[in-house]
């Protein structure tokens, strides 16, 4: 067993997973209480009258290849958000175990911890050093009851990517004591991907990925939970059977063709170019006081007139995310990178 497995709730380690009806291609299925006819208009590959594979084996294999992993290292989830939920439920006993987060960061870490009844510890990012990861402060704050720390890199909503060395130090410092969850939802916009090397070096690391951002499938809700194979197998027991819909599987499999991947890479290049263009233009926009560096598909800016800036954009039919009421994000506004035309319209609206 890996160190992370030993930190799982004992009842999860001992859980007997639900045995779904056998799924065997080409057989007449009279074992799952399904209807034998497709619904009108159904053009899916396997038929919407049939349950999908209890665990989408073909999709998992294709994503495993896409991310350059070994078989068994990946669990398909409904977005990376479901991965967060699975991890909190699997590691944290209600009223006994804690989750540690580093605000300002993705708000769903706290939501899932509170739903589970887990304790919540907060060690803020260091704003004075560019919202850097406070590794030593996290290690000092760690308690025997703390099981998980969520590290979002690039971080949402600040946009900065944490140094690989900081993630390594955190994993090493928590060996045998806790699990580091690296939420890499925006990794495709951040350059070289350290995931495989980090996973090989640390058995207490789990990585979350999503197809919602750079891969253009936000409406499909597909993510991946990635870790050591023995841990991934146990975490899969927490998910219900048939949890990833047939239509979503079809959409992802279409995306993973060489032609689609080439087009997505081209679009990612456009987003990176537009990110640099906006970062150069926004400091000269009235009301924008600061533009933070970004390794994601969004930019965090600061404005002493944040509500008015957001209102100017809205009047032009553009929605921005206002974080200005968060004391850790004074005057903060998050701007997603759009198309060149959308970004032009934004700059025009903010300059008026």
pLDDT in tens, 302-338: 999 999 999 999 999 999 999 999 999 999 999 999 9
Read off the pLDDT of each residue in 237-241 and give the average, rounded to a whole number: 93
pLDDT (tens digit per residue) in 135-160: 999 999 999 999 999 999 999 999 99
- Please list the residues that pair with 208 across neighbouring strands: 183, 225
Query: How sure is the predictor about 22, in pLDDT bands with cuts at 50, 70 and 90?
Result: confident
Cβ atoms of 164 and 198 closer than 8 Å: yes
Chain centroid offset of residue 246 CA = 22
* Mean confidence (pLDDT) of the chain: 96
pLDDT at 1: 53
| Cis before 140 (ω within 30) | no
**pLDDT above 90 (res 20):** no
Cβ atoms of 61 and 74 closer than 8 Å: no
How many Å apart are CA 256 and CA 273, to the nearest integer?
24
Question: How much is the pTM?
Answer: 0.96
Cβ atoms of 184 and 209 closer than 8 Å: yes
pLDDT at 2: 64
The set of long-range contacts for 133-142, using a CB threshold of 8 Å and a minimum separation of 24, is: 133/102, 133/162, 133/163, 133/166, 133/167, 133/170, 134/102, 135/166, 135/169, 135/170, 135/173, 138/100, 138/102, 138/170, 138/173, 139/170, 139/173, 139/174, 141/100, 142/100, 142/174, 142/177, 142/178
pLDDT (tens digit per residue) in 270-310: 999 999 999 999 999 999 999 999 999 999 999 999 999 99
Token match 């990585």: residue? 207
Cβ atoms of 106 and 181 closer than 8 Å: no
pLDDT (tens digit per residue) in 46-94: 999 999 988 999 999 999 999 999 999 999 999 999 999 999 999 999 9
As separate numbers, helices (DSSP H) first and strands (DSSP E) second, the chain gives 13, 11
Query: How sure is the predictor about 18, in pLDDT bands with cuts at 50, 70 and 90?
Result: confident
pLDDT (tens digit per residue) in 95-145: 999 999 999 999 999 999 999 999 999 999 999 999 999 999 999 999 999
Read off the pLDDT of each residue in 236-240 and give the average, rounded to a whole number: 94
Question: To which H or E segment does residue 220 belong?
Answer: none
Cβ atoms of 223 and 213 closer than 8 Å: no
Three-class DSSP category at 120: strand
Read off the pLDDT of each residue in 222-228 and give the average, rounded to a whole number: 98
């Amino acid at each position: 067993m890996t160190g992370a497995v030993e930190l799982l709730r004992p009842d999860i380690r001992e859980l007997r997973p639900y045995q779904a009806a056998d799924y065997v291609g080409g057989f007449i299925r009279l074992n799952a209480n399904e209807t034998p006819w497709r619904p009108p208009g159904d053009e899916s590959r396997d038929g919407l009258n049939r349950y999908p594979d209890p665990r989408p084996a073909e999709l998992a294999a294709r994503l495993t290849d896409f991310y350059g992993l070994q078989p068994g290292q990946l669990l398909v989830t409904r977005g990376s958000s479901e991965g967060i939920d699975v991890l909190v439920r699997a590691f944290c006993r209600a009223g006994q175990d804690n989750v540690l987060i580093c605000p300002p960061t993705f708000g769903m870490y706290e939501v899932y911890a509170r739903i589970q009844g887990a304790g919540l510890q907060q060690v803020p990012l260091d704003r004075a050093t560019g919202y850097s990861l406070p590794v030593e402060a996290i290690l000092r704050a760690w308690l025997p009851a703390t099981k998980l720390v969520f590290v979002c890199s690039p971080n949402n909503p600040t946009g900065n990517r944490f140094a690989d060395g900081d993630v390594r130090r955190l994993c090493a410092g928590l060996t045998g004591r806790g699990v580091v969850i690296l939420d890499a939802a925006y990794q495709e916009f951040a350059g070289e991907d350290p995931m495989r090397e980090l996973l090989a070096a640390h058995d207490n690391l789990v990585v979350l990925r999503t197809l919602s951002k750079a891969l253009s499938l936000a409406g499909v809700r597909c993510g991946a939970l990635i870790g050591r194979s023995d841990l991934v197998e146990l975490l899969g027991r927490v998910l219900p059977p048939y949890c990833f819909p047939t239509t979503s599987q079809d959409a992802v499999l279409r995306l993973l063709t060489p032609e689609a991947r080439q087009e997505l890479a081209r679009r990612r290049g456009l987003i990176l170019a537009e990110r640099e263009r906006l970062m150069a233009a926004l400091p000269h926009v009235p009301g924008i006081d600061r533009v933070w560096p970004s390794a994601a598909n969004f930019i965090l800016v600061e404005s002493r007139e944040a509500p008015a800036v957001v209102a100017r954009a809205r009047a032009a039919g553009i929605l921005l995310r206002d974080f200005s009421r968060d004391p850790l994000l004074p005057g903060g506004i998050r701007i997603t990178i759009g198309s060149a035309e959308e970004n032009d319209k934004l700059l025009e609206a903010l300059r008026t």
